[in-house]
Amino acid sequence: MSITPNSPLSIQDPAIASAINAEAHRQQTSLELIPSENFVSPAVLEALGSVATNKYAEGYPGKRYYGGCENVDVMEDLARDRAKAIYGAEHVNVQSHSGAPANIAVYAALLSPGDTVLGMDLSHGGHLTHGHPVTDSAQRYNFLRYKTTPEGTIDYDALEATAKEHKPKLILVGYSAYSREIDYKRVKEIAESVGAFAMADIAHIAGLIAGGEMNNPVPFFDVVTTTTHKTLRGPRGGMIMCQSALAKQIDKAVFPLLQGGPHMNTIAAKAVAFGEAQEPAFKLYAKQIKANAQALATALTTRGFKLAFGGTENHLMLLDLTSKAITGGIAQTALDSAGITCNKNMIPDDPRSPMDPSGLRLGTPAITTRGLKAEQMANIAHWIDQAIQNHANPIALANIKAEVADFMNPYPLFQK
């Protein structure tokens, strides 16, 4: 058989086909506990791999720089309208390629170089794009960081005191490892008292908000960013929601300031995911994510694990492994060998480096998509405990991996 551009992937590029098949097997036979990962529906995958990827569409619906955009305009309008309906947003931009560019676009739209931003400390659950010194944004703007209290909640009093002292242009809340609810109204009041914009990054909890399981800052915050994967269970991408008064600034920052042609196949897949998030079944899904997280947290606590921030009120938990005499890096490697996928993570004021920190971050969105319920979290906690205890024993880890694969066999990647 001659190889042409129309040949099946297995013929045209067997190396990539083999790697994709191996990844599908890994996902099917493993416990996916990374809180920022999920499994999309066949419909989302179909849109993502559609002919929409062929179309250049610089600009926005009705105002493109290319012809032939009448169909992709429909896709983008549907994505925007569905997001508005879900979150109560006045304006939505769905063109950001991922969460980090969405945050950078907001900074570019609302700030001038040297302006002060108050964001959450990375080791207390924040995100790199919230002002960590290694990022480009930290070189352009003056980021100050707030932390959590010993009890595990955001220190709103310290946040307010810092805001009053330094008068930031922007106050940012949101997280990648924080496991508690946020008092958005308090943050908005603090921002208004110092004349700052209020911004929320809901990348991790967008699906829980869509399902009515967590507070929604969109109607009263100035701007809210999110990814469209994670708990929202869509394609990898970003989104910005804002008040209508900021719409032109935000849109111009995304295009043409920072990005060129939007990925229309991804935008089509976002629209599909937003449609799914409007279904009654999605509310049940969001509720089950939280129930599973709380059950897993309880099961781990009974096995002697300490949870940072005093527990979980969302989809994730951060284990403090200092009392277990193991680092997060070693634990992650051991769990990988046992068929349990998670990620090492810093704990508040961690003395260790990000490459081998003291914590381990776990979440329940993906296993909930697979169909697991709260009563099965004890099994998972048991395997986590056994893998960490036997982290230097390859035979024990291989046995756990076989048990995990057998356990996950009845739960397909694509739920009907």
Hey, which residues are catalytic here?
56, 58, 201, 227, 230, 236
Record the tokens describing residue 230, joined without a space.
Answer: 């994670």
Distance CA 117, CA 189 (A): 16
Structure tokens at 18: 């083999």
**DSSP for 39-95, written as a single string:** ---HHHHHHHTSGGGG----EETTEESSS--HHHHHHHHHHHHHHHHHHT-SEEE--
Report whether 339 contacts 400 (CB < 8 A): yes
d(CA 199, CA 187): 9
The interaxial angle of helices 70-87 and 264-277, nearest 10 deg, is 40
207 exposed, middle or buried (CB, 10 Å; 0-12, 13-18, 19+)?
buried
Tokens 């290694």 belong to which residue? 134
User: Token digits for 130?
Assistant: 């919230």
Query: Cβ(262)–Cβ(57) under 8 Å?
Result: yes
Backbone angles phi, psi at 348, to 5 degrees: -50, 125
Structure token pair of residue 157? 């009093």
Q: At what angle do helices 394-408 and 328-337 cross, to 10 degrees?
A: 60
Distance CA(42)–CA(1), nearest Å, equals 30
The number of residues in the chain equals 416
Residue 173 region by backbone torsions, left for phi larger than 0, else alpha for psi between -120 and 50, else beta = beta
Q: Which amino acid is at 19?
A: A
The answer to whether 360 and 321 have CB atoms below 8 angstroms apart is yes
**DSSP class per residue in 173-194:** EE-SS--S---HHHHHHHHHHH
**Cβ distance 96 to 233 under 8 Å?**
no
- Rg (C-alpha) for the chain, rounded Å, is 22
Strands 63-64 and 59-60: antiparallel
